[in-house]
Structure 1
Amino acid sequence: MPIRDVHDIERLKKINEALISRVERSMDQQGNAFSLFQTAINLENRVRSRTEELRATLRRLEVSNVDLVAAKENAERANLSKTRFLAAASHDILQPLNAAHLTVSALAEVQTTEEGRKLVQQVERSLETMEELLRILLDISKLDAGVVQPEITDVALEPLFSSLKSDFQPLTDQKGLKLRFRSTNAVVRSDRTLLRRILQNIVSNAIRYTRAGGVLVGIRHRRSTVRIDVVDTGCGIPEDEYEAIFEEFHRAPQATEADLTGGGLGLGLSIVRRMASALGHPISFTSVVGRGTIFHLEVPAAKTAFVETPTAPVEERPRGYGLFDTKVLLIEDEPDVQNAMTVLLERWQCTVKSAASTTQALEALGDTAWIPDIVIADQHLEGGDLGSVTIAAVRDYLNRDVPALIVTGDTSEEVAEVAREAGVELMRKPLKPAQLRALLAHLLA
């Protein structure tokens, strides 16, 4: 075979191999492209699926958010409704409770045996526990609903401490404990009533869980605050109970029956936290089991200085109470309360005329041959009458400013403002007979 043919054959083989190689590469590329195409389609399907899932989730979240907003609004409305209900219910419940207080007080006056006096005291303690529980529940309801608006003023701590010491000294003496309030001229910015309730609950709790030693209340000055410390030598609080102590109806597990004697309801620290939160006063504590607890309340310091105003001593009256032959016009629409109050006043040697409305009160006065020395009126009377209006009508009828007292279960600030504007005294139901008697004697003096 000629050499030229041999070269041509070799060249053709190389060309053939090159063509075959190119075809194979082309087929591989097509295979890869097809594979990539399939992969892209799969990814697109998966992205579309995930997108639909995400959209569905977002739609569900939107619906859930709408439901949550609606549920929150419903809960807030329910909370406000609960507050209004408890306020109304407490007023209705306080009426018979007030009657019971007055009746028991009158009953105590006629007891001649030791057994009878003990039974009366037991009933009085039960009534006081009921009253305390009702008032605490109402306070908690108002605080949770956010309807309590603190009145921030300058509050001198020394008179507050003196008042608390006077309240708790008999209890600590009975338990054999020491009670000390360190003297101070500090003035803070707070709501006087709420601050007193906070300290009252903390001190009461400290005394309840202290079996030996005592309770000390003092202050520490900070840069812009005053820290009030309540120190006790009680049973202490275990670390795992630190949060639980602020829960409703919680009692220390290490407390004995003797510690709980006296009506501890387990609501004291719960309402303390709510009140402190409403005032913006940080509260904290440190405790060692078996050695005691220290509660700290941070209160803003006031800029003004405290100058104590001496108070005139209250003259102690003999058992006649200074009420002998006092003419009382009693305006009360609840028959049980009216009867109980009448019995009590007559036990104090008063002459009583009763009425349930403004019209009846003026009819009771008749031709003014009988002029009352004092008027006692419930604020909310039958037919929509108001005690403050009735008192004004009686004064106009008699043409004189007869001393007057409004008694009511209404705990709102509005009724207190009405009493101030009318220039009459105000007492909340249920009445404490001893306080009522002292106030009547004061008004008549």
Structure 2
Amino acid sequence: MPLNDIQDVERLKKINAALVSRVERSMDQQGNAFSLFQTAISLENRVRMRTEELHSTLRRLEQSNMALSAAKESAEHANLSKTRFLAAASHDVLQPLNAAHLSVSALAEVQTSEEGRKLVRQVERSLQTMEDLLHTLLDISKLDAGVVEPETTDVNLETLFSALRSDFQPIAETKGLSLRFRPVAIAVRSDRTLLRRILQNILSNALRYTRRGGVLVGTRQRGNMIRIDVADTGCGIPEDQREAVFEEFHRGPRMSDAELAGGGLGLGLAIVKRMAGALGHPVTFSSTVGRGTIFHIDVPVSTHPVPEPGTVEAERQPGYGLFGTKVLLVENDADVLAAMTSLLERWQCTVRAATSTDEALDALGDTDWVPDIIIADQHLEGGDLGTMTVSQVRDYLGRAVPALLVTADPSESVMNAARAAGIEFMRKPLKPAQLRALLAHLLA
């Protein structure tokens, strides 16, 4: 082959190799592009799937939130319904309980044997336990439902301590314990009734679990706060029970069968926790097993001058001068009416009974019989209200006859209506001794 032809062939081979290489590179690039295209499509599909899953999850979450909201609303409604039911049920249950209290009191006065008096005391204790349980359950229900609205005012601690001393001194003396309150000339901002209930429950627990020594109530000021301390020399609270003491139906160790029989319901500190929470008063405690416990309640100090101590109802002298007292008794429950009439007559009172406003006015005749005092239930026959009955009787007689509203209705509106009408107020079930003391006070 001529040299020129050989050179041409070699040159064509090189050109061909270069073209083949370029074609291969081009094909590789196209293959990579196609691979990237496929990858992009795959990623897009995965993103679409994840987006759909996310939307589905969000929809399920939204539905779950709606279900939770509906369940919460239903639970709140059920809680309020429970509170209303307990309030209504307690009113109906307290009516016969009140009649039982009054009947047992009348029965106690005719007992001549020690055995009879012992049985009466046992019945009274059982009735008192039932009453305490009903009131406590109603209180817990109200607090859990958030329907308790504290009425914040200036509370004179010396007056409050005086009332508590009167309540608990007999209990302490019965157990051979000392009960001391350190004097304090200061007022705090709180709800008077709720703060007293908190201290009552703590004191009751302190005396129950103390066998020797006693209980001391004192205060310490810390800036704009007053810390009320209730210290006892009781059995103390073990470390493993400190979280449980504020739970319902928790009871500490008992020392004897007598203490077990006379023990509480295990609801006292549960009430304390809820009431303190409603007031915004922190409650804490420190305790040493075998040496005692100190409960602390932090309450804001009042910026106003200390109110003058008022007359403490519990410290009123009883005064039993009821002989010949004319009582207009307005009560629609037959059992309560009979028991109350029997009790008043044993106190040498003259009683005229009625079940409604019209009957009460009829009982007065042509004002030839003027009652010294009116005792009325709030809810009477025909939908009459005791406060209105008292008002109409007073108008009919033309004089402001002393009156007492006795009711198992626990609502604040009833108490406020009685106060506005100048009517004394007592809740059922009545304690006969307190009733007699209040009647003597009103007639004095």
Name the CA distance, whole Å, in 2 between partners of 1:162 and 1:19.
114
Measure, in 2, the Cα distance between the counterparts of 1:324 and 1:431: 20
In structure 2, the CA distance between the partners of 1:28 and 1:293, relative to structure 1 (3 Å rule), is farther
Q: Which moved more, 1:297-306 or 1:396-405?
A: 396-405
Matching residue of 1:322: 321
Residue 84 of structure 1 deviates from its aligned partner by 1.4
Structure 2 stretches lacking a partner, 5+ long: none
Aligned length: 441
For 1:244, what is the secondary structure of its paired residue? coil
Q: How does 1:87-236 map to 2 (within 5 A)?
A: 87-236=87-236
TM-score, normalising length: structure 1 = 0.93
Instruction: After TM superposition, list the pairs within 5 Å mapping 1:288-367 onto structure 2.
Output: 288-306=288-306, 308-309=308-309, 314-315=316-317, 317=319, 321-367=320-366
1:383 is matched with: 382
Over 3 Å counting, the alpha-carbon distance change for 1:126 and 1:302 in structure 2 is same
> Is the contact made by 2:155 and 2:307 (CA closer than 8 Å) also made in structure 1?
no
Q: How far apart are residue 6 of structure 1 and its match?
A: 4.5
TM-score normalized by the length of structure 2: 0.94
Distance 1:290 1:315 in 2: 39
Kept in 1, the 8 Å contact 2:143–2:275? The answer is yes
Alignment correspondent of 1:421? 420
Structure 2 residue aligned with 1:53? 53
Partner of 2:439: 440
Structure 1: distance between partners of 2:12 and 2:177: 120
* Deviations 1:362-384, CA, capped at 9 Å, x for gaps: 11222333222211111110101
2:156–2:309 Cα contact (<8 Å) kept: no
Q: Percent identity?
A: 73
Q: CA deviation at 1:309?
A: 4.0
Partner Cα distance (2:17, 2:233) in 1:
103
Which one-letter code corresponds to 1:222 in the other structure? R
Q: 1:290-335: per-residue Cα shift (whole Å, max 9, x none)?
A: 3332222111110123254475985554xxx211122211110000
> Which has the larger displacement, 381-390 or 336-345?
381-390
Q: Match of 1:236, SS?
A: coil
Letter of the 2:129 partner, please give it. Answer: T
1:158 is aligned with what amino acid? E
CA contact (8 A) 2:318 2:438 kept: no
Letter in 1 for 2:376: A
Which shows bigger deviation, 426-435 or 38-47?
38-47
What residue number does 1:237 align with? 237
Tell me what 1:281 maps to: 281
- 2:18 matched residue in structure 1: 18
Q: What per-residue deviation string (whole Å, max 9, x for no partner) do you get for residues 160-200 of structure 1? A: 11211221222222333332221111210000000001111
Measured on the aligned residues, the alpha-carbon RMSD in Å equals 2.0
Contact 1:101/1:432 (8 A) holds in 2:
yes
Contact 1:129 1:263 in 2 (8 A): no
Partners in 2 of 1:77 and 1:309 — Cα distance?
Answer: 42
